[in-house]
Structure 1
Amino acid sequence: MELQITATDPEHPATLLDLPWDVPLEEWPDRHLVALPRGISRHVVRFARAGGEVFAVKEVGEYAAVREYGLLRDLDRLAVPAVDPVAVVTGRQAPRGEPLEPVLITRQLKGSMPYRSMFETTMRPGTINRLLDALAVLLVRLHLSGFAWGDCSLSNTLFRRDAGAYAAYLVDAETGQIQPRLTHGQRDYDLDVARVNIVGELMDLEAGGALHPSIDPIPMGRDICDRYGALWHELTRTSVYPRGKRHHMDRRIRRLNDLGFDVAEMQIQRSPDGDAVTFVPKVVDAGHHQRQLLRLTGLDAEENQARSLLNDLETWMATQEDHTPGDPLGASPEVLAHRWVRDVFRPAVRLVPRDLRDAMDTAQVYHELLEHRLLMSERQHHDVSVAEAAADYVRGISR
């Protein structure tokens, strides 16, 4: 049987030929390997360098390797966070002709860590909560794409911090399956598996002294189910907002905030019946909103102020005709943010008398206008303009 490399990129087979495929993966020489933290796996896994890239190489049976390779390619097409499939290598033989297990090759996810490496020092409870939140987001996104994982766990996930955000990536699709739509039973099964696995993994950390003493593994396992359920409901329930009811979108964003999530992207589809809105959630770390607002607008604000302003910016951007996420021809977030500051933020702040503005910073002034506009819109059952809100706000303070 001859060595065969099935790859996603035509350049990869030639690059990968330099690796020692006639040697069991456990015995690969150090010159080919890269010392990176590895998670727990049922299979032999090594990180290897070839052609200037780093790859994760996993020995697994041929059927499982080909199947997982296909699933990972499907997830890539669905834009679900997962490791990138590179190749499957079959027909491996030792020098004396003994058959060796095939391998699945994926691209190393830069900046990612397995959960055990993140617990080398005792992790704060808040950070653990954010990791579990990120896992809940991943599971929701998988299920929305029709992917039943079958073995959701911390061990089968990689975590990465990106600009203050925690993102979870699927790293093991061996037990998964893709269908047009998952049933309630399939989703419940995935959740039950996730709960049991996470409790077991946290208990293992507890036994090794790597878990913060204030954390009880069993409630943590239940908590991810609660987070998943709340997020699934908030993202999947049918919502068509009549024109002129933008304050309903604001309220829904706040519900996501209360769940511990922020809006990474918001898509609005116009129809004769109204605006159908889709939200993509993310989990962020402390200070993220300050950094993001400063980068996009140059405005320096406190964290809660920045969250409020960014929510308004995101909602406003989604209404702009030249805002097309992923389209290189559309206006960039930086261009739109500059326009928002010029056309929305500054004019609104100027509506407040100078003596009131001098008593607080401009970010707080705008935040209070947003709060007042939301309350007015809900009382009057239609969207209120910033100018109307500012006038009513000033009258209320002057009384």
Structure 2
Amino acid sequence: MTAFASLIVASTLVVSAAPVEVAAAEVTWATANSVATGDQDFPAIAANRTGQVAVVWEDDRSGTDPADNAHSEIYLRLFTNGTPVYEVKLSGGGTSGTAWRHLSPDVGLDDRGNAVVVWADDPDGNGVYNIPYRVVSPTGTVRASGQANASAAGTQILPKVAVDPDGTPNNAAATAFTVVWEDIQGTGPATVKAAGYTNMTTKAYEVSASQTTGEHHRPDVAVSASGEALVTWDEDADANGSYNIGLTRLARADGAVVLSRRTANSIGDGQQRTSAVAANFAGDFTISWVSDHTGSAGVWSRSFTAAGTARHAEVQTSTGAGAGGPTVGIDDRANAVVGWTVQGANPDVWLRGLNPDGTTGGGRLAAQALSQSTAGRQEQMAVTSSPWSEVGIAYTDDADGNLSDQILLGVGPTNAEWLTLRAPHR
């Protein structure tokens, strides 16, 4: 039985109608980074159906100023059933005497345990970024390296990656994935680009996922077993300064648009920004984002069928004001788990579960603070769900108030009562 499954009964006990805080005993906690010196930030997390969780982060273990991200490196750590398997540094430093940086990593994980990591890379410290990727084996060996953006012109930032869970047709051993990023060329408006790979170094396409008019920022991506890539982003195609959540789907073979570009949100008042998307094996997906159409910021969510049909209008997921940084996972029954950070004097990380129709209850996790400690700052929430609805979280923690963060990993909660009845998957 996995570390997730072994704590199922305890974690379902915390589900209630009102927000509650989960005691540390309900979750198996670990510090994702093995070296505690310096400052660790911006975690991302991914899970597969075989009990594995991958966590990636920015690591500035040699720095003395937590506010300065110069010389940050990218680290990846894989856990199986809650036990660490490996930790590996994936970036390569930079030019001596410059403020080189490796920033904003993301990770995807296939069902064989192969991880794909991307980040924004400025090894010469000139302020211009490209998007490298690494494919890492289940034992921590780098299997392939490359650069997602073919042209180094302009600057490429805020990458995201999603991995096909079961490889490609006629080649289940292939590690297939899609990378998206924000592309800025000179003084021109930002667009969203996507690059799809049918295997580690076999690039099938690089296309504009967004419209080419107006401004487009902060993409996210999800890939189902079909290999098609769902892409979301902050969309202002008409350049009127009002943002919606853009949505499209790209074909595996050539990046052609197979779900027409559209807005994921049905309410257009205010600003809709910073979306997160997750898809399951069959292609059902959930999108969460920040909206201020009620007068204060909150996280809203909407679920869709594999055909791209909305199951419901967006529902407010977060509780209280000041919620941001949405993150989302989804299981094979299309139950979603949504995380966010509540800002304030002592920021904290929250999550809740949703049914496919946007309702709560019925075994879904109630809205609750989910952190090991409430002292100091807990921020930058990242959440994932396995196909079995096993929930993993990662966030930055500064419980001692020294402004230097660690990356905490929590496993154990489940977002579905049915998980307690099934046989262990390993």
Q: Same fold (TM over 0.5)?
A: no
Q: Whose relative contact order is higher, 1 or 2, with alpha carbons under 8 Å and at least 6 apart?
A: 2
What is the TM-score of this pair, normalised by structure 1?
A: 0.28
More helix by share: 1
Normalising by structure 2, we get a TM-score of 0.27
Q: Which has the larger radius of gyration?
A: 1
